[in-house]
Every structure is written in C-alpha cells, then in structure tokens.
C-alpha cells in the first residue's frame, strides 16, 4: 500500500522534485500551494507524512503545524518543515510545536526521502521498510544541507532520479532567465516608444 505524502509549498520546482523523489508505487504525493487548502483536506487525505513550508500564502506553516498538533486523528502524522536558505526560524511561533525535522531548501532529495521513510517508520510502526535508518543521528531541529554524497543509498528511488531533478532545476532557471529577458525587452521598448512619441530622435 502506497504511503501518502502531503507537500505544502508554492514553488513548482519544489513540487516537481518531491514528486520525483517520492515516486509511485511506493508513494502518493498530494501537493498544495497554500496552508488553508492543505489544512482543510488533511483529515480527508490522512497522510503518513507532511512536508510543510514555513512560508506560505494565506496561512503559514507554523499555523498549519499547530492545527495538526490540535487534532487527535492527525497525531501520528510525520511532520517535516521546509525553510528557505536565508529564512530564519521564528522561535516564538515554533515553540511548543512537535515536528520531526526542519529541512533547508534546496534540499538533497535522497536524504529527504530517507528521512521521511524513517519518520513514517517510527510514527506508524511496526517497521514497514526494510532499509536500515541512515539518519538516526539527525535531531528534530537539525537542518539538512544539500549533499552530493555518491555513497548514499538510493533506497527505492530510480537510479536516474537525481539527473531528472537536475534537469528540472536547469529548466526552471532557463525559464526564469527567459522571462526576465522578455520583461526587460518590453520595458526598454516601452521607454523608447515613449521617448519617440515626445519628439525625440534615436542617436545615429
């Protein structure tokens, strides 16, 4: 039976990477862009783990995490917070919340998959995965920085998943560059048109 993973993050890139890291048939991934929609459907989905961005539109990750903590039917759900590289954790908001880890973006997909497997295994028990935990030493408040360790086992991930993830990241970067170039060109053309409309003449 596939394990259910809920991802709450507005970034299309993060959603693509997580879907590839937690691929079928072992996982079903439910992705949401904001905390309000995710909070309203968590009980219906009954996920095994939630990957929750701290920064969200409408309702942030701290508030969604508090909702999880206040519901008995969601007590056994693994909770992993995701934070941006330069985003500080709000000590006041996170105080009293029970969670399993805080992972910094951009994250290493292999380590994240192993972490979530380990969290589900401990929360749901008895052991459902044959792999021995590789990250028991990571405390709940630890950050997982990006890693390119070639010796890290891939568990059930496809061998080419990292290449696919890198391709997605490259595609996103190129898309952003194309969009910036398009906007800059449009801005310059608008300024030139306005200048010409006022009677100006281009320099020879």
Region 121-139: what's the mean pLDDT? Answer: 49
Per-residue confidence (pLDDT) for residue 138, from 0 to 100: 37
**Percentage with pLDDT > 70 across the chain:** 68
> d(Cα 136, Cα 187) in Å, to the nearest integer?
53
Per-residue confidence (pLDDT) for residue 180, from 0 to 100: 63
Write the CATH number of the domain with boundaries 3-159: 3.40.50.2300
Residue 174 has pLDDT above 80, yes or no: no
Least confident segment among 12-16, 36-40, 49-53, 164-168: 164-168
What pLDDT digit, counting tens, does each position of 46-94 carry? 899 999 999 988 888 999 988 888 888 777 889 999 998 888 899 999 9
> d(Cα 36, Cα 22) in Å, to the nearest integer?
23
């Amino acid at each position: 039976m596939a394990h259910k993973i809920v991802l709450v993050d507005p970034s299309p890139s993060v959603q693509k990477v997580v879907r590839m890291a937690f691929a079928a048939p072992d996982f079903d991934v439910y992705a949401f862009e904001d905390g309000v929609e995710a909070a309203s459907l968590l009980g219906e989905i009954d996920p095994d783990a939630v990957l929750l961005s701290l920064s969200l539109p409408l309702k942030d990750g701290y508030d969604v995490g508090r909702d999880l903590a206040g519901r008995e039917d969601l007590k056994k759900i693994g909770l992993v917070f995701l934070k941006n590289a330069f985003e500080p954790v709000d000590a006041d908001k996170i105080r009293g919340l029970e969670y399993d880890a805080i992972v910094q973006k951009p994250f290493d997909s292999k380590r994240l998959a192993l972490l979530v497997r380990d969290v589900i295994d401990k929360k749901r028990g008895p052991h459902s995965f044959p792999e021995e935990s590789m990250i028991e030493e990571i405390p709940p408040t630890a950050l997982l920085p990006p890693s390119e360790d070639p010796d890290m086992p891939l568990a059930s991930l496809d061998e080419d998943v990292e290449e696919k993830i890198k391709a997605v990241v490259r595609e996103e970067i190129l898309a952003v560059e194309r969009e910036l170039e398009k906007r800059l060109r449009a801005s310059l053309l608008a300024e030139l048109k306005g200048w010409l409309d006022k009677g100006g003449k281009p320099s020879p």
